[in-house]
Amino acid sequence: MVELVFTVNPGIEDIVSREAYGVFGGGVSRYSMLSGRVYYSVDGSIDYLFERILELKTINKAMLHIATLEIEPSYSFLGVLKNRLPRVLEGIVEFIGPGTSFAVTTERIGVHEYTSIDLARVIGDAVIEVVKEFYGRRPRVDLRNPSVIVHGFARENELIIGVLLSGPWSMHRRGYRVYDHPAALKSTLAVAMLYISGARDRQVIVDPMCGGGTIPIEAALLYEDAAIYGFDINPLHIRGALMNAVAAGVVEKIVFRVWDARRIHEVIREVDHMILNPPYGIRYGDPWSIRRLYREFLESAEKALRDRGRITMITTEYTYVHKVVKNTRLNIVHERIVQHGGLYPHIILLEKM
């Protein structure tokens, strides 16, 4: 059994754990909510794990866990870390030998006096020392095309080191985003919202403020026979969403149309799920107009939903949503905090009673 570490958007650790269990057909996870990481122990060869990891749609990166250790934010701690690392990285020789090229990548979340480059240098030096000690020769550093990537993920006072299985880029970059909406939702969060919504195949799924189309596109990639619609008041965004859907190979599975979400009931009814990333007042600098948009949209959405139909939305205006729904048939059945774009919005799940 090997232990994997998934880096994720904080707030969806439980969803990642359930998705991993479904993909691997078993395994044991451990995580803390809002930590941004999930540890997952599972049986299987490296080749098997590599293939299955590519099926995960809610993770940013995946690595084979080598070591976890506590760190301090001071620059002087790098000297302490340099002395500690060779003892905890002994397992790296299973993946890196004298004929293996490698590189080190790092991520840092939190306040530290040292940079990610400083951290990568210390980890790289430790890897070279361990491999040289074990094999008698040092490995080759190749920053352009390494055979193995050692990744360090530093979050606050913890450093996780592992061998990347998911490649150097975050898996939330799907590759289909030809048009980049200025307030685009991460694709990993879009999938998490689809899971939270309870959406299933052969249902009507609508994003009434679709922007560049991330939510409808991810829905089309998940569900074979769902009826999927993307609306936006801005023709530029609809054209961009169409471009992205073409790049993703799902343009024939989605109906895109220019329309005002505040009048969504006029264009579609008996909707099973509305899933959306509406604008935030904190970003647009005009909370009053944003709140008016929310109120008018929710009033219209209530009319468009079938009974027991659901709205899943991510927003920083969660307090106002609580206030508005008191005067509707919409009940809040689930709510959670996530991290996105440096903010801590809530994902709210509403159901029409």
Q: What is the pLDDT of residue 295?
A: 96
If asked whether residues 14 and 101 sit together in one domain, one would say yes
Q: Name the H helices within 198-339.
A: 214-222, 235-248, 281-284, 287-304, 318-325
In angstroms, the CA 13 to CA 96 distance is 30
The mean predicted confidence, pLDDT, of the chain is 94
Q: Give the structural domain span for 11.
A: 2-164
Cα-Cα-Cα-Cα dihedral of 46, 50, 55, 58, to 10°? 100
On whether residue 169 sits in a domain, the answer given is no
For 228-282, the pLDDT digits (tens) are: 999 999 999 999 999 999 999 999 999 999 999 999 999 999 999 999 999 986 6
On whether residue 177 sits in a domain, the answer given is no
Burial of 55 (0-12, 13-18, 19+ CB in 10 A): exposed
If asked whether residues 140 and 267 sit together in one domain, one would say no
Burial of 277 (0-12, 13-18, 19+ CB in 10 A): buried
The pLDDT-based confidence of 172 (bands split at 50, 70, 90) is: confident
For 182-211, the pLDDT digits (tens) are: 889 999 999 999 999 999 999 999 999 999
If asked whether residues 158 and 195 sit together in one domain, one would say no
pLDDT value at 118 more than 80: yes
Provide the CATH number for the domain around residue 280: 3.40.50.150
In angstroms, the CA 38 to CA 20 distance is 10
On whether residue 170 sits in a domain, the answer given is no
The pLDDT-based confidence of 283 (bands split at 50, 70, 90) is: low
Ramachandran category for residue 290: left, alpha or beta (phi over 0 → left; psi -120 to 50 → alpha): alpha
The pLDDT-based confidence of 284 (bands split at 50, 70, 90) is: low
**DSSP letter (8 states) at residue 157:** T
On whether residue 182 sits in a domain, the answer given is no
In 316-345 the beta strands, taken as DSSP E runs, fall at 330-337
Q: What is the pLDDT of residue 44?
A: 87
In angstroms, the CA 301 to CA 279 distance is 16
If asked whether residues 191 and 137 sit together in one domain, one would say no
If asked whether residues 223 and 338 sit together in one domain, one would say yes
Tokens of 31: 């995580």
In angstroms, the CA 228 to CA 217 distance is 9
If asked whether residues 134 and 8 sit together in one domain, one would say yes
Give the burial string for 216-245 (b: 16+ CB within 10 Å, else e): bbbbbbbbeebbbbbbbeeeebbebbbbbb
Phi first, then psi: give them for residue 352, nearest 5 degrees. -80, 120
On whether residue 69 sits in a domain, the answer given is yes
Looking at the 3D structure of the chain, how many domains does it have? Answer: 2
Region 124-136 average pLDDT: 96
Which range, of 46-55, 290-299, 331-340, averages the lowest pLDDT? 46-55
Provide the CATH number for the domain around residue 154: 3.30.2130.30
If asked whether residues 76 and 22 sit together in one domain, one would say yes
In angstroms, the CA 215 to CA 347 distance is 14
If asked whether residues 259 and 117 sit together in one domain, one would say no
Region 304-315 average pLDDT: 98
On whether residue 158 sits in a domain, the answer given is yes
If asked whether residues 272 and 155 sit together in one domain, one would say no
In angstroms, the CA 130 to CA 228 distance is 53
On whether residue 181 sits in a domain, the answer given is no
pLDDT value at 285 more than 60: no
If asked whether residues 134 and 195 sit together in one domain, one would say no
On whether residue 172 sits in a domain, the answer given is no
Tokens of 329: 């048939």
Amino acid identity of residue 259, one-letter, is W
Model pTM score? 0.92
If asked whether residues 98 and 10 sit together in one domain, one would say yes
pLDDT value at 169 more than 90: no
In angstroms, the CA 200 to CA 195 distance is 9
Q: What is the pLDDT of residue 170?
A: 87
If asked whether residues 232 and 291 sit together in one domain, one would say yes
Region 140-156 average pLDDT: 94
